[in-house]
Structure 1
Amino acid sequence: MRKAVAFTGPSNSGKTTLIEKIAKRLIGSYKIAIIKNDPADKAKFDKVGKDSYRFYSTGAEVVVTSPTRTTYFSHRQKSLDEIINMINDFDILLVEGLKYLPLPRIGIFRGDVDESYFRYIKAVAIDESVDKSKIPQNIEILNLNDTDQIIEWVLNNAKEV
């Protein structure tokens, strides 16, 4: 079983925190993989002067391996299928962002609801700061603070990949 589900929402809505909670709960029973989109290209991965930074600065594809992990640095954008093939060994893939990918998707909102996300999502995870009447009938409403409920949705709705 290799299934994927995605999470989307405005900055600081709680996407990373929610994905982290879900991953921590599921990791004992499933092999979990996570893909995070960095649309502003502002994430920092290495420190100036270190070997991996120097290698990556050449423009090459770089793999750093150690007894406890393998890290892949790429200058090329990868499709979802290419990333899935690279990761390969997982049961559940949690994707943050990349709203154009055809995956079952939970929108995360606090306070205001951005209606532009509605065409991409099947469910919303919201807290008490959101007016539920602003959510269309065809979108399932989940409690952002009920991780078990969200995990159940993920397990029941994730798409086989």
Structure 2
Amino acid sequence: MKKAYAFTGPSNSGKTTLICKISEYLQSLNLKVAIIKHDPKDKAIFDINTKDSYKFYSTGASVAVISPKRTTFFHNESLEFDEILKRFDADIILVEGLKTLPLPRLCVFCKEVDESYLEFSDAIATYSKKDYKITHFNLDDIKAISEFIITNAKEI
């Protein structure tokens, strides 16, 4: 049984860093992890240590990047999300972006919180102390966030 959980937030909000930490934590629990990243502008560059795909792969997870023209793990055509899921042997799939997918979602903000994201999210991870009337985690509490994800990820 595979489960999936998604992450959302603006550029430079801390999504990649958090997903990497969660991937490593989940793997320490002997779970197989895959990560799918959305590249809506088809501008991803691979195999460079400063890029998200490289960071994700470095955690030990399987990784796919979906763009309008290709799916990279390396595949020369775009695949639908469901088709990619079939290719992964994983217990849990972490998804960065793809806001339209019907998945539970954590909103990530390492700096200022854009509350417009909250209506699409089940939880928030931030350093803010403000009450957002949604499940709220400190961005550094990887164990609590990971346990929440394990419990709330959607079976797929």
Q: Same fold (TM over 0.5)?
A: yes
Amino acid at match of 2:111: G
Alignment match, 2:39: 38
Q: CA deviation at 1:19?
A: 0.6
What aligned pairs does 1:1-161 form with structure 2 within 5 A after superposition? 1-28=1-28, 29-45=30-46, 71-76=73-78, 78-87=79-88, 89-127=89-127, 130=128, 132-133=130-131, 135=132, 137=133, 139-161=134-156
Root mean square deviation, CA, Å: 2.2
Task: Output the amino acid matched with 1:155.
Answer: I
SS in 2 for 1:95: strand
The alignment-based identity, stated in percent, is 51
| Cα distance in 2 for residues equivalent to 1:110 and 1:86 | 32
Partner of 2:60: none
- Distance in 2, matches of 1:62 and 1:114, equals 30
Q: Output the CA distance in 2 between the equivalents of 1:40 and 1:112.
A: 24
Moved over 4 A (4+): none
How much has 1:18 moved relative to structure 2? 0.6
AA paired with 1:141?
A: H
Counterpart residue type for residue 95 of structure 2: V
> Counterpart of 2:119 in 1: which secondary structure?
coil
Whether the 8 Å contact between 1:4 and 1:92 is mirrored in structure 2 is yes
Letter in 1 for 2:77: H
Give the deviation of 1:26 after TM superposition: 1.4
What letter corresponds to residue 74 of structure 1 in structure 2?
A: N
Q: Aligned partner of 1:132: which letter?
A: K
- Residue 34 of structure 1, CA deviation: 0.4
How big is each residue's C-alpha offset from its partner over 1:45-66, in whole Å with a ceiling of 9 and x where there is no partner?
379xxxxxxxxxxxxx899xxx
Contact 1:35–1:95 (8 Å) recurs in 2: yes
Shift of 1:25: 1.4
Q: Which has the larger radius of gyration?
A: 1
Match of 1:56 in 2: none
TM-score by length of 2: 0.78
